[in-house]
Structure 1
Amino acid sequence: MTRTPETPLPSPKECRRLREAQSLSQADVAAALGVTRATVRSWENGRTTPRGTNRDAYVRLLTGAEEVTPHQENPAPALVGAATGPVQASPDRAEPAPEPPSETPSASELAPEPDPELGPDPARGPEPELGSELSPEAEPEPLSPSLTPDQAFDALYAFCAPALVRQTYLLTGRRELARESVECAFQLAWHRWPEVAMDRDPAGWVRATAHEFALSPWHRLRPRHRNPEPPPAAPADRALLDVLLQLPPVYRRTLLLYDGVGLDLPETAAETEASTPAAANRLLHAREAVATRLPELAEPKELHRRLAEVASAERLHAAKPTTVRWGGEQRARHWTRAAIAFTVVLIGATTLTLRTAPDHYEPPLAPGATVHGVPPRVAPGPLSAEELALRAKLKGETVSGPERLVPEAG
């Protein structure tokens, strides 16, 4: 049986250019093809490719063969600029590492569209609560292309930090740890700012770093981690947070990224470093665990809404961007000074060892060898006449006591 050749597809960069040339947004293309906006974004990033009828319709739409009513919103503008100039950084996930070839279907073949068993893609409907509370999916305001690195970092922080603090709180159930995780993630981003600014998705880079720091098992060794924090005030919020914290960390993170943040399955799998089928299984098991304890949250849209309510009820506030940048610079200075001090100590110890160590080899003495240079032991010789007379005189004296030692007058 022969296979019908697929319609030639332009490169991802060319697809994006053709879409913007027709003044179409990703939402317009998604609505015309009957897919999600995340799927179109994945096509333009090159992570997946459309197949079948979607591929043909996508090519016809880009080439202008089909008429589509343009959406009112503009394409995603640039978010941050690099240290030497502006950089296009729309909220797309960074490209994952290529997987080794195998006989199994690829991620795009397994999940090019939302899985009916998993329910519709969340954060796609008219639910304004989550867009501002958990998910940085809203279109950022266009920024001036002549931004300094400080201004670009502050813009990224102001756009992502409030949502990241709420997401991290749902992952850990700890308010201070959530703030600390976000601050450490942004401090690392500021330390590696040229790399982060050139990334396709700076917000996703910081989100992945904050989530990994928050879920690190080393926090269990900290003394303050042993003291539980006060739970949420509302009983329903306490019940949902308790269910989330009882899930394994990878299941909890997968549920939050898909049902909370609104990523699709390939993006969720890439961020959690898993395959798409593995991410789907984790999501199904996590939803089943939540629905078992809280049956009213069996619907994905209701779970999506409740996650946003629990996250926004705590009134978590992130630190100011200037404070985060200053803290990152201070930490870099401390680590630099510590490295210099350690190097100086290592050089001093090496120098002392070289000065005190022997500079030539001294072979040990063989067992039983004669030692030369030691004077012989002298034995007592015969007594002289005077010594014999003195000994006789001493023996002849009958006086005992100290008088024997006192000389007599002559």
Structure 2
Amino acid sequence: MSRKPVPLPPPKERRRLRETRSLSQEDVAARVGVTRETVRSWETGRTDPRGRKRDAYAAFLVAIAREPAPPAEASGAPEPPAPEPPGAAPDRPAPGPPGPARGDGAGPPPRHRPGAGRPARGPRASAQRSTKPPLAGQVRHSHAPPPGGTSPLNAIAQPAALLKSFGRRHAADGSLLTAERAAGLSADQAFDRLYGHSAPALVRQTYLLTGRRTLAQESVERAFHQAWQRWPEVAVDRDPAGWVRAAAYEYAMAPWHRFRPALRRPDPPPASPEDHALLDTLLSLPPMHRRTLLLYDGVGLDLPETAAETEASTPAAAYRLLRARRSVAERLPVLADPDALHQGLDRLARGEKLQPPRVAEVRSGCERRTRFWTRTAIAFTVLILGATALTLRTAPTAYEPPEAPPETVRGVPPRMGPGPLTDERLALRDLLREAPRAGPHRTHPELR
């Protein structure tokens, strides 16, 4: 009788539990008895532990979840809010209470300012971070700032607004399965709701990531194909929109697209010179730097969430973000401020009138693709079974030794052809022709 596997939290929750205790992946690997690459694949969701490793990993997560959180001084939390820089507006409104992270679009819209409803992050939001989960707003890690300088985690200024063109964040404390059960929605209706909320913004995000309109639409369609094929898994995920976004980004940034003949020529640039310059600057960045910049300054993810989606450590994601901002500021000094950069990305995304295909076409196309590959797999299986049966039918049932290779026989005189007849043989031939008779005389004739 098979044993039921031990339940594990989602991959993002595993990483959050580790970071709240200021543990590195090497520490977890040493406790569980695996390598660092294995822990990384567990936290990104690529693989799941099995057997005894799964039991040990689950027990470790339960143990660190029951431990009290370390104080802010020992966890490397940012310092208290810094004073406002000179020249700042004195009547700047205080940040409002943090709304639900990654909601389904039902949260209150921004009122007087685009970033009024967005949870603040960065050095100025330490007082507000105490009301949010550690992963969503407070970075706890074991890397201390370098001597004589500022840690890259604290040097990042958060953009002030998260505009609608990039899409609002989705709830991180629930799942679509719970929502659809509570609302009485079917799987098709829940999928249509996720698609209608996330697909338009995701197409524009993917365009900023690749600079190609057709590839952006194709990437989003493929991502939702995968989501519909694995809907039971996506529906219970803590961030369904993030699951689809990661799939779309991975497909859009695949290196084999450069070999496609249809994508060898660049797309027409945007009409505005400012948007053209910004798009060229984005495409000049390394792919991972570009993705980190888009996730943090465009989509509005937290730094640990950005690191988790790009499969990097939090300090590495911070360095990538700083380098990407520095490269953009060198080519476009106007966008050196994070708020201006976010507004520029929003303007560039709004300038492209990209629309994803209709949700009914996506679901039907996914089902057609699934039926095609299923039938293809069945046909190949039948072909292999037929070839195997034919081989078993025609194969010999007994051992047949192979023929020995030919060898040259020496010492035998060569075979000669018939030569001219002698007089005695000529006489014997004439006698046999003249007297044709049977009997021993015919067999042993005598010469006369």
Q: Structure 1's 302 and 50: CA in aligned 2 closer, same or farther, altered over 3 A?
A: farther
Does structure 1 retain, via aligned residues, the 8 Å contact 2:223–2:247? Answer: yes
- 2:261 equivalent to 1:212: no
Q: Structure 1's 174 and 75: CA in aligned 2 closer, same or farther, altered over 3 A?
A: closer
Identity of aligned residues (%): 56
- 2:153 equivalent to 1:108: no
Aligned to 1:108, the other structure's residue is in SS state coil
Divergent runs of 4+, >3 A:
48-51, 71-80, 106-116, 138-144, 365-370, 376-386, 388-391
Q: Structure 1's 51 and 311: CA in aligned 2 closer, same or farther, altered over 3 A?
A: farther
| Structure 1 residues 200-241: Cα deviation after superposition (integer angstroms, max 9, x where no partner) | 110111111110110000111211011221111111111100
The partner residue of 2:168 within 136, 144, 169 is 136
In the TM superposition, residue 78 of structure 1 has moved relative to its aligned partner by 7.7
The equivalent residue for 2:156 is 118
Q: Distance in 2 between matches of 1:131 and 1:139?
A: 17
Q: Distance in 2 between matches of 1:137 and 1:245?
A: 25
Amino acid aligned to 1:388: D
Aligned to 2:141, the other structure's residue is in SS state helix
Q: Structure 1's 225 and 369: CA in aligned 2 closer, same or farther, altered over 3 A?
A: closer
The equivalent residue for 2:72 is 52
| Structure 1 residues 157-200: Cα deviation after superposition (integer angstroms, max 9, x where no partner) | 11111111011000000001001101100110000000000111
1:329-368 → structure 2 map (5 Å cutoff): 329-366=367-404
Q: Structure 1's 212 and 107: CA in aligned 2 closer, same or farther, altered over 3 A?
A: farther
Does structure 1 retain, via aligned residues, the 8 Å contact 2:292–2:321? Answer: yes
Q: Distance in 1 between matches of 2:289 and 2:104?
A: 30
Amino acid aligned to 1:137: R
Q: Distance in 1 between matches of 2:388 and 2:97?
A: 70
Q: Distance in 2 between matches of 1:224 and 1:49?
A: 53
- 2:295 equivalent to 1:283: no
Q: Structure 1's 49 and 241: CA in aligned 2 closer, same or farther, altered over 3 A?
A: farther
The equivalent residue for 1:387 is 429
The equivalent residue for 1:148 is 186
Q: Structure 1's 296 and 180: CA in aligned 2 closer, same or farther, altered over 3 A?
A: same
1:7-406 → structure 2 map (5 Å cutoff): 51-52=71-72, 79=104, 107-110=140-143, 115-119=153-157, 121-122=158-159, 125=160, 127=161, 130-137=162-169, 145-366=183-404, 383=425, 385=427, 387-388=429-430
| Structure 1 residues 28-52: Cα deviation after superposition (integer angstroms, max 9, x where no partner) | xxxxxxxxxxxxxxxxxx8x96742
Q: Distance in 2 between matches of 1:383 and 1:224?
A: 91
| Structure 1 residues 258-296: Cα deviation after superposition (integer angstroms, max 9, x where no partner) | 111111111111000000111111111111111111011
| Structure 1 residues 112-135: Cα deviation after superposition (integer angstroms, max 9, x where no partner) | 99944211x22xx4x4xx431114
Q: Distance in 2 between matches of 1:194 and 1:365?
A: 62
Q: Structure 1's 158 and 379: CA in aligned 2 closer, same or farther, altered over 3 A?
A: same
Q: Distance in 2 between matches of 1:332 and 1:205?
A: 20
In the TM superposition, residue 348 of structure 1 has moved relative to its aligned partner by 2.0
Does structure 2 retain, via aligned residues, the 8 Å contact 1:185–1:209? Answer: yes
Does structure 2 retain, via aligned residues, the 8 Å contact 1:111–1:265? Answer: no
Q: Distance in 1 between matches of 2:340 and 2:73?
A: 32
Q: Structure 1's 78 and 256: CA in aligned 2 closer, same or farther, altered over 3 A?
A: closer
Q: Which runs of 5+ in 2 are unaligned?
A: 1-12, 14-64, 76-95, 106-133, 146-150, 409-414, 434-448
Q: Distance in 2 between matches of 1:290 and 1:78?
A: 30
**More displaced, 292-301 or 341-350?**
341-350
Q: Structure 1's 351 and 165: CA in aligned 2 closer, same or farther, altered over 3 A?
A: same
In the TM superposition, residue 53 of structure 1 has moved relative to its aligned partner by 7.0
Does structure 1 retain, via aligned residues, the 8 Å contact 2:103–2:170? Answer: no
Does structure 1 retain, via aligned residues, the 8 Å contact 2:102–2:168? Answer: no
Amino acid aligned to 2:269: P
Does structure 1 retain, via aligned residues, the 8 Å contact 2:209–2:290? Answer: yes
| Structure 1 residues 130-153: Cα deviation after superposition (integer angstroms, max 9, x where no partner) | 431114327799876211000000
Q: Distance in 2 between matches of 1:240 and 1:227?
A: 19
Q: Distance in 2 between matches of 1:117 and 1:365?
A: 82
Does structure 2 retain, via aligned residues, the 8 Å contact 1:160–1:203? Answer: yes
Aligned residues: 298
Q: Distance in 2 between matches of 1:267 and 1:74?
A: 17
The equivalent residue for 2:446 is none
Aligned to 1:355, the other structure's residue is in SS state helix
Q: Distance in 1 between matches of 2:70 and 2:294?
A: 26
Q: Distance in 2 between matches of 1:239 and 1:75?
A: 35
Q: Structure 1's 175 and 367: CA in aligned 2 closer, same or farther, altered over 3 A?
A: closer
| Structure 1 residues 302-357: Cα deviation after superposition (integer angstroms, max 9, x where no partner) | 00110011011001111111111111111111110111111122122222222333
TM-score (norm 1): 0.64
In the TM superposition, residue 111 of structure 1 has moved relative to its aligned partner by 9.3
- Structural RMSD (CA): 3.9
